[in-house]
Structure 1
């Protein structure tokens, strides 16, 4: 019996489990390794902060999904992959595989910056997001908050925290720090202008070209030598390669991400596939690391894993050149970006909420059915 081993409970692996529920893998054993029994949908985390969603509304129960799929769930952290031996070392065992798929997302850039591990909050995993929300609610009116990272996550969380604190007092002193020359670097100028206007209208400060070199319990040190007061620091920087890859003999690009071909297979031909933020497409290396692409990769990954087990021909994946972006602005509206179109409206928020809830229902209903 061949063994298909999944590492991580990301978007694409949810689809692998859904496929196994609807069309069981005959003659194959399916295992999923994750340090977390529940996977949370990152697109709805800002809504959780502002009180729109309960934690359960953005959670996927991996244990229950595995049970329905006839898969074995292993609550452990993958520490090292050995392609030659076809094994994965976890924090408690060595597990062999015939085919391996990796969908573990990415780590935030700069987590090795002095003081980040001890003093900065994050939103991944969800336990860290819950801790951050609780910490925000204990702040006093005169508190200063620094959000490190001016990408979509940083902007959404900054706006959500502003709304949270405005409901308790007049709002905290919030600053967004971005080391690049602009916020929302992967978006068009019109979106950046609308986001900047929204932030500044609420009194949220933006600092670009602001490299953070040290974090303490109440202060941030910038590369320029300037010190900023920060009673609470949230570290929401862009994607960095998972540490797992640094410990594994895998084909990687210069940034350390798993390098895959157009079938989502490792470029060295190892029986290893991947999807989502943790991979870089060899032929499309500039593909943005957003959940939209993981969702589109999922059906191709499902087919190709089944093909590998059954000796069939794989399909190819070509990323779409554009994607619909919807950013929650925590005011009953959302920023919408599609090609050259940009807007900030209630309709955009309704569309985002509809899409997110529909995505959740697609997998949550598998447990209830």
Structure 2
């Protein structure tokens, strides 16, 4: 039985680890540690977020899928499949146009670092993990940072302790944190909100994550461009197609994270191979770094300091080992 996996990120490589005979397709030459993009901006070293793929990953761009004929068309030819796992990651919704710099790729991080050489005032849209870490990094680079968050607290999906700690830490560093603030528009050099205008030389989107546009282009039933799957990660449109990682969700909702992607990649492959295992995810740890301080939620409890740093570094180690293992 031939299983094709579209996308070699956390979910794709986790799928491959369960079935070494599967074929993983990815257009990149490397595995991207997305949670280290802020570190690339800080250091200027792209290698800390890019781990070269092994020969098990076929470097090719997927052009389209013929679900009825069970054929994937790429820029290097066509491949048939018996089972298909789609793990195409995420994209950012840049509804405010080219005045906003996205941050989803290694090239984006390098571009932001270059633009920071000329920028003095930076606005970051989104107070999730990426926005919080990014605000700390850029403030330490000597810029004036304004962090805009629509919710009434930062890190709204994490514990209140983590939210409060992030707010206090960023404010102490000099970051202007605007909570409960809705972005209504963006113009060149200006963010328009329900609480007034923010002048900025560089505007960075750290929110608006959704599934890749190609999911909708392929005609798959989706929610915010994330393909809808059942409890077994099977597409609701095709019995021989599964979804894993950030590009999929269930009717109830599945969060976007590396841990969830790894878990879903494993379950999708096992079910594609014949098992009937319901997908149940568990967020073990969400750890951030602001300045020199590590903190976050570990096993449902707020942690900071050496324990948090150890958990963060262990997560990076596990990610690298995943790439090396396949």
State TM-score, norm by structure 2.
Answer: 0.89
Gap runs ≥5 in structure 1? 166-170
Supply the distance in 1 between the matched residues of 2:79 and 2:281 (Cα, whole angstroms). 32
Q: 1:172 aligns with which of 143, 167, 172?
A: 143
195-204 vs 344-353, which deviates more? 344-353
1:292 partner SS: helix
The answer as to whether partners of 1:144 and 1:172 remain within 8 angstroms in 2 is yes
2:222 partner SS: coil
Supply the distance in 2 between the matched residues of 1:88 and 1:230 (Cα, whole angstroms). 44
Supply the distance in 2 between the matched residues of 1:244 and 1:36 (Cα, whole angstroms). 17
Q: 1:207 aligns with which of 178, 182, 185?
A: 178
The answer as to whether partners of 2:34 and 2:105 remain within 8 angstroms in 1 is no
The answer as to whether partners of 1:83 and 1:250 remain within 8 angstroms in 2 is no
Q: How far does residue 31 in structure 1 lie from its aligned partner after superposition? A: 4.0
Task: Tell me the residue number matched to 2:295.
Answer: 335
Q: 1:208 to 1:89 in 2, by over 3 A?
A: farther
1:186 partner SS: coil
Task: Tell me the residue number matched to 1:326.
Answer: 287
The answer as to whether partners of 1:276 and 1:293 remain within 8 angstroms in 2 is yes
Supply the distance in 2 between the matched residues of 1:47 and 1:72 (Cα, whole angstroms). 28
Q: Alpha carbon RMSD of aligned pairs, Å?
A: 2.6
Supply the distance in 2 between the matched residues of 1:159 and 1:303 (Cα, whole angstroms). 40
Task: Tell me the residue number matched to 2:107.
Answer: 127
Task: Tell me the residue number matched to 1:11.
Answer: 10
Q: 1:291 aligns with which of 233, 258, 272?
A: 258
Q: How far does residue 261 in structure 1 lie from its aligned partner after superposition? A: 1.9
For this pair of structures, how many residues does the alignment match? Answer: 326
Q: How far does residue 269 in structure 1 lie from its aligned partner after superposition? A: 4.1
Task: Tell me the residue number matched to 1:168.
Answer: none
Q: How far does residue 275 in structure 1 lie from its aligned partner after superposition? A: 1.0
Gap runs ≥5 in structure 2? none
1:121 partner SS: coil
Residues 143-162 of structure 1: per-residue CA shift (max 9 Å, x gap): 11000111111111111122
The answer as to whether partners of 2:32 and 2:50 remain within 8 angstroms in 1 is yes
Residues 91-118 of structure 1: per-residue CA shift (max 9 Å, x gap): 7866543321111222223x122x3xx2
1:263 partner SS: coil
Supply the distance in 2 between the matched residues of 1:263 and 1:231 (Cα, whole angstroms). 46
Residues 184-240 of structure 1: per-residue CA shift (max 9 Å, x gap): 111121111111000100110111233334334422223x38322110111110422
The answer as to whether partners of 2:136 and 2:170 remain within 8 angstroms in 1 is yes
The answer as to whether partners of 2:85 and 2:243 remain within 8 angstroms in 1 is yes
2:271 aligned with 1:300, yes or no? no
1:342 partner SS: strand
Q: 1:182 to 1:87 in 2, by over 3 A?
A: farther
2:302 aligned with 1:352, yes or no? no
2:42 aligned with 1:72, yes or no? no
Supply the distance in 2 between the matched residues of 1:157 and 1:182 (Cα, whole angstroms). 17
The answer as to whether partners of 2:72 and 2:80 remain within 8 angstroms in 1 is yes
1:244 partner SS: helix
2:262 aligned with 1:262, yes or no? no
